[in-house]
Amino acid sequence: MNLTSGLIGAETTGSIGWLIWDNPSKLNALSPGMAEDALTVIEAYEADPAIKVVIMRGAGRKAFISGGDIKSFDKTRADPETARLAREAPTRLRLKMLNLEKPLIAMIYGYCLGGGLGMALNADMRFASSDAQFSVPAALRGIAYAPEGLKSLVDLVGPSIAKDIMFSGRRLKTEEALRIGLINRVVDADELEAVTIAYAETLAVNAPLSIRASKFFINQLGLERAERNEARMDAMQREAENSDDFKEATLSFVEKRKPVFQGR
């Protein structure tokens, strides 16, 4: 992978690919070049059949992503055209993450603010340390948050709670974030990585065709019926039921052993 910003890390452990937001001097704030490099990493993991699950995290334990790099705004938001160009890579990254056929988990320590929360919402699931904090301070920064990013928030917590988060800019602690469905799990900081890895390893040995279909179907169900790709959903169902993995699952049940899935 050709990563040029120096602010994104990529590591693999077994069948897990790690995307690391590595800007600790700014609490992993989203700075120019990071989205482009993150897109490169995600595309590489997507193309690698050995990678079954992707986990993204911030470097260290102080922050997942503390938001956008405000000091870079005078360059990236100097005028409407510059701002539009600066949004292109993050938009491509968001779409790639949402449509990644492999599970994507956000492992969150500490601050998950603004664009950091937006990035976490691109994941399928969010596991957070008990000291994590969440907010979107757009109303404190004079920012009209992009509708595309807000959709993920509304889909998770509903319109009324999304309005509370956006209007107030207040910070949510993990108990509230879990209660409203913003995150999936709260884990003690010392155990978060081990718990997240163990869960990812559970997913990694499950049937890839089934997981891929479930992710695609669930995303499609969030669309209006006229916008859904019914033909692809039907084809994915047929692919799974005629797969070697389906036969393996049946045989392993009869033989009282764990199935070994090949993704075909």
Q: pLDDT tens-digit profile of 101-124?
A: 999 999 999 999 999 999 999 999
Q: How many CA atoms lie within 13 A of 188 on its CB side?
A: 2
How far apart CA 200 and CA 22 sit, in angstroms, is 21
**pLDDT over 90 for what percent of the chain?**
82
Same domain assignment for residues 55 and 141:
yes
Q: Do 214 and 197 fall within a single domain?
A: no
Please tell me whether residues 144 and 247 are part of one structural domain: no
Q: Are residues 216 and 179 located together in one domain of the fold?
A: no
Q: What per-residue confidence (pLDDT) applies to 72? A: 61
Same domain for 77 and 148, yes or no, is yes
Domain boundary residue among 180, 204, 228? Answer: 204
Regarding whether 122 and 225 lie in a shared domain, the answer is: no
Number of domains observed in the structure of the chain: 2
pLDDT tens digits, residue range 219-250?
999 899 999 999 999 999 999 999 999 999 98
- Judge whether 193 lies within some domain: yes
Same domain flag for 80 and 152 = yes
Q: CA dist 176 to 30, 153, 171, 249, Å?
A: 25, 15, 10, 39
- Is residue 84's pLDDT more than 80? no
Judge whether 118 lies within some domain. Answer: yes
Q: What is the pTM of this model?
A: 0.92
Q: What is the pLDDT of residues 1-40, one digit of tens each?
A: 789 999 999 999 999 999 999 999 999 999 999 999 999 9
